[in-house]
């Protein structure tokens, strides 16, 4: 029992760190543009599919680089072509537009590369690693380590680069930031590019671990649960939420899956979403919204 | 009939109803298209009421349809006459909708959309487990006693009656006191509350009625298809519903019908055209489903950018042109 919990905890943290990375894209986009991107899962899918197709013809590091650049370009394109004309439109339009975007990306991916599961060439060492006596899949450990390094890199980026600082400024207080010379358009474009890249990285990492098929799009929903738990507009919240969802899914979901009813693991994120929304709609670290007439 | 305020429109309406009544003559074996459109239009009416009039975004409309379908199937299989089973399932879904709608007092906008999305997934999961892992269920046909609906045309005439009634009910509801209250809630629910509108009452009513429409559509669908699976009510179907009301025109009472016709015609049209196109381009059969998704997404985005009012608004603009012809102003 103890061993089950401990291995679940470690595995959960491993997968959770990838969720956290994906959720970071979600949260940052919401924080700086007030758009909840329901196509985020499809951006994950985009990264996975493109990287796997490129890895067949290019050396792996090059394939990853090209994929990330393509994801950033997709983000820029989406912002320019779809989101800018819709600026100031009601919430529903924006939600539906992101859903429609998800349709297009998923349709294109499945149409071009088919729906069956594909695997990356073995770039990470396979086998089992023991951490404190608990067996873990080596691929999982390496993916988690990469995710952790990237989270650190993103943190440095927001802390020290000019683009990062202007994005934080805009996220904090849009109007003030724009009077002080932050170009909101540019920030929005960077936010989209960033979200798409974070999604693509998540897609590649998860793809290395689990293989790529269109079910990968559901990971976007797990990241959604993570940001709801952490608070939609909180970046530390996204990271904590991602880790928490990973652990809850693996430990609680895995336990119920094995002992109570089958298949519960897949819907754990939604149970979490419903519970959080009912108890604390703004999440753990999100700003509480106060409405006035 | 005050909605149809000009003799020309009344004539047009008569023509439309006549065309619908005579549809089996001019549509022939494609009458199943109208059956599908009718069922989805009834469901979409519910979403127009909920999202268009009351402003509550729901991404779980197909879950209500599933409740109606499985409820009706279960009641009919338990030995209840089919019409009673349908009424029972609709009432059940209505109650379910009210319960789901209760949190809408606390959570709204985006958060409500996410909550309904979660509800959709949980319902799918529960149904798969309740039916023993497969989700498939065979359903008795529509009928009373020895009289049973056997052909598409018989079903069509029954459906047409329900469809016209449902559409007329929505149109009149939108103009009534209740409809006006809903619109006030849509525009600013706090302000509406300050004006003395009990939010709980009207939001629950909107959710309940929307769910009832979806439940009715679901039970019609179950007795029409005769075999239901959870695959017919996935989150994709929910998004199809949203697509219908947006493409048709969110705030228009014609929106649901136009949108359902557009969406069903597009996806069924692709399906019908597949054999012919596959003969020319063999790869087409593999991409038809992805192609449908890409087309849908593109149409939705294009409409939202250039004509947020949807097809109904295009129709209204056309009507204005005709009204003012030959002078532009």
Each of the 329 residues of chain B gets a pLDDT tens digit; together they read 445 566 777 788 888 889 988 888 888 888 999 999 999 999 999 999 999 999 999 999 999 999 999 999 999 999 889 999 999 999 999 999 999 988 888 887 888 999 999 999 999 988 988 887 777 888 888 888 778 888 889 999 999 999 999 999 999 999 999 999 999 999 988 899 999 999 999 999 999 999 999 999 999 999 999 999 988 998 889 999 999 998 999 888 899 999 999 999 988 888 888 777 777 777 777 777 788 888 888 988 998 888 888 899 988 888 888 777 777 66
Chain A neighbors of B305, CB-CB under 8 A: 82, 85-86
Tell if the CB–CB gap between A96 and B296 is shorter than 8 Å.
no
Q: Are strands A134-137 and B137-138 parallel, antiparallel or unpaired?
A: unpaired
**Cβ(A154)–Cβ(A242) below 8 Å:** no
Query: Above 70 in pLDDT, residue A244?
Result: yes
Tell if the CB–CB gap between B51 and A100 is shorter than 8 Å.
no
Residue in B241, B290, B307 to test binding to A, most A beta-carbons within 10 Å: B290
* Nearest-Cα residue of chain B relative to residue A262: B129
Interface check B246 vs A, CB under 8 A: yes
Output the pLDDT for position A33. Answer: 82
Distance CA B133, CA A121 (A): 35
Chain A neighbors of B129, CB-CB under 8 A: 261, 263
Residue of A102, A111, A291 with shortest CB distance to B290: A111
Chain B neighbors of A99, CB-CB under 8 A: 239, 242, 300
Tell if the CB–CB gap between B114 and A228 is shorter than 8 Å.
yes
Q: How many CB pairs under 8 A join A and B?
A: 118
Q: Are strands A128-131 and A134-137 parallel, antiparallel or unpaired?
A: antiparallel
Output the pLDDT for position B164. Answer: 94
DSSP states along B212-267: HHHHHHHHHHHHHHSEE-GGGGSHHHHHHHHHHHHHH-TT-TTHHHHHHHHHHHHH
pLDDT digits (tens, 9 = 90+) for A137-168: 777 788 788 888 888 888 888 889 888 888 88
Reduce the DSSP state of residue B137 to 3 states and report it. Answer: strand
Residue of A36, A270, A278 with shortest CB distance to B103: A278
Question: Between the CA of residue A267 and those of A62, A155, A256, A272, what are the distances in Å?
Answer: 36, 31, 11, 9
Interface check B69 vs A, CB under 8 A: no
Rounded to the nearest 10 degrees, the angle between the axes of helix B235-248 and helix B255-280 is 110
Q: What's the gap between Cα B148 and its chain centre?
A: 25
Question: Between the CA of residue B110 and those of A63, A118, B117, what are the distances in Å?
Answer: 36, 34, 11
Tell if the CB–CB gap between B57 and A110 is shorter than 8 Å.
no
Query: Above 50 in pLDDT, residue A198?
Result: yes
Interface predicted TM-score (ipTM) of this complex, two decimals: 0.87
* Nearest-Cα residue of chain A relative to residue B130: A261
Range of A27-31, A232-236, A241-245, B149-153 with top mean pLDDT: A241-245
Tell if the CB–CB gap between A89 and B289 is shorter than 8 Å.
no
Chain B neighbors of A293, CB-CB under 8 A: 188, 190-191, 194
Query: Above 50 in pLDDT, residue A98?
Result: yes
For residue B143, what is the enclosing H or E element? strand B143-144
Output the pLDDT for position B1. Answer: 42
* Nearest-Cα residue of chain B relative to residue A39: B297
Query: Above 80 in pLDDT, residue A2?
Result: no
Chain B neighbors of A271, CB-CB under 8 A: 118, 122
Of all residues in chain A, what percent carry a pLDDT higher than 90? 20
Q: CB within 8 A of B70, min separation 6: which ones? A: B127, B130, B131, B137, B218, B222, B228
- Per-residue H/E/C for A123-180: CCCCCEEEECCEEEEHHHHHHHHHHHHHHHHHHHHHHHCHHHHHHHHHHHCHHHHHHC
Tell if the CB–CB gap between B305 and A85 is shorter than 8 Å.
yes
Output the pLDDT for position B272. Answer: 82
Residue in A100, A213, A230 to test binding to B, most B beta-carbons within 10 Å: A100
DSSP state of B141: P
A211-218 average pLDDT score: 79
DSSP states along A32-86: HH----TTHHHHHHHHHHHHHHHHHHS-HHHHHHHHHHHHHHHHHHHIIIIITTT
């Amino acid at each position: 029992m103890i061993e089950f919990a401990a291995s679940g905890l470690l595995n959960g943290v491993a997968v959770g760190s990838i969720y956290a990375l994906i959720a970071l894209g979600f949260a940052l986009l919401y924080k700086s543009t007030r758009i909840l991107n329901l196509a985020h899962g499809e951006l994950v899918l985009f990264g996975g599919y493109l990287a796997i197709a490129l890895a067949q013809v290019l050396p792996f590091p090059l394939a990853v680089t090209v994929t990330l650049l393509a994801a950033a370009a997709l983000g820029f394109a989406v912002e320019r072509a779809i989101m800018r004309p819709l600026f100031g439109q009601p919430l529903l339009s924006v939600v539906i537009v992101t859903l429609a975007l998800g349709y297009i990306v998923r349709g294109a991916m499945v149409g071009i590369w088919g729906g069956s599961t594909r695997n990356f060439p073995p770039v990470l060492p396979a086998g089992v690693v023991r951490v404190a006596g608990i067996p873990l899949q080596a691929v999982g450990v390496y993916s988690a380590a990469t995710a952790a390094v990237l989270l650190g890199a993103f943190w440095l980026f927001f802390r020290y680069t000019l683009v990062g600082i202007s994005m934080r400024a805009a996220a904090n207080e849009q109007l003030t930031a724009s009077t002080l010379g932050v170009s909101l358009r540019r920030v929005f474009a960077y936010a989209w590019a960033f979200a798409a890249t974070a999604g693509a990285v998540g897609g590649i990492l998860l793809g290395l671990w689990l293989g790529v098929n269109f079910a990968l799009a559901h990971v976007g929903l797990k990241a959604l649960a993570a940001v709801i738990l952490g608070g939609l507009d909180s970046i530390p919240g996204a990271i904590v939420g991602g880790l928490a969802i990973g652990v809850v899914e693996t430990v609680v979901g895995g336990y119920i899956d094995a002992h109570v009813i089958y298949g519960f693991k897949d819907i754990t994120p939604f149970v979490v979403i419903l519970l959080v929304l009912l108890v604390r709609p703004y999440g753990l670290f999100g700003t509480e919204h106060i409405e006035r007439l | 009939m005050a909605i149809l305020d000009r003799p020309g429109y009344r004539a047009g309406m008569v023509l439309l109803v006549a065309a619908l009544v005579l549809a089996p003559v001019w549509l022939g074996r494609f009458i199943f298209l109208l059956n599908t459109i009718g069922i989805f239009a009834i469901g979409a009416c519910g979403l127009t009421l909920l999202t268009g009039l009351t402003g509550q975004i729901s991404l779980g409309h197909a879950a209500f349809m599933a409740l109606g379908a499985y409820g009706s199937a279960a009641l009919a299989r338990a030995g209840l006459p089919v019409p009673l089973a349908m009424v029972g399932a609709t009432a059940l879904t209505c109650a379910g909708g009210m319960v789901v709608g209760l949190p809408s007092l606390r959570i709204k906008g985006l958060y409500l959309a996410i909550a309904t999305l979660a509800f959709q997934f949980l319902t799918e999961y529960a149904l798969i487990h309740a039916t023993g892992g497969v989700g498939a269920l065979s359903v008795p046909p529509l009928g009373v006693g020895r009289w049973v609906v056997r052909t598409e045309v018989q079903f069509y005439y029954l459906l047409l009656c329900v469809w016209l009634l449902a559409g007329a009910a929505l149109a009149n509801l939108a103009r009534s006191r209740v409809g006006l209250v809903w619109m006030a809630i849509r525009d600013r629910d706090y302000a509406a509350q300050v004006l003395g509108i009990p939010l709980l009452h009207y939001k629950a009513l909107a959710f309940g009625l929307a769910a009832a429409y979806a439940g009715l559509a679901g039970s019609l669908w179950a007795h029409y298809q005769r075999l239901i699976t959870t695959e017919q009510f996935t989150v994709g179907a929910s998004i199809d519903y949203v697509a219908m009301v947006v493409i048709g025109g969110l705030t228009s009472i014609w929106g649901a019908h136009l949108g359902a016709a557009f969406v069903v015609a597009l996806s069924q049209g692709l399906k019908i055209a597949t054999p012919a196109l596959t003969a020319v381009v063999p790869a087409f059969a593999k991409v038809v489903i992805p192609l449908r998704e890409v087309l849908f997404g593109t149409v939705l985005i294009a409409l939202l950018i250039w004509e947020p009012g949807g097809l109904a608004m295009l129709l209204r603009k056309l009507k204005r042109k005709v009204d003012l012809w030959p002078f532009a102003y």
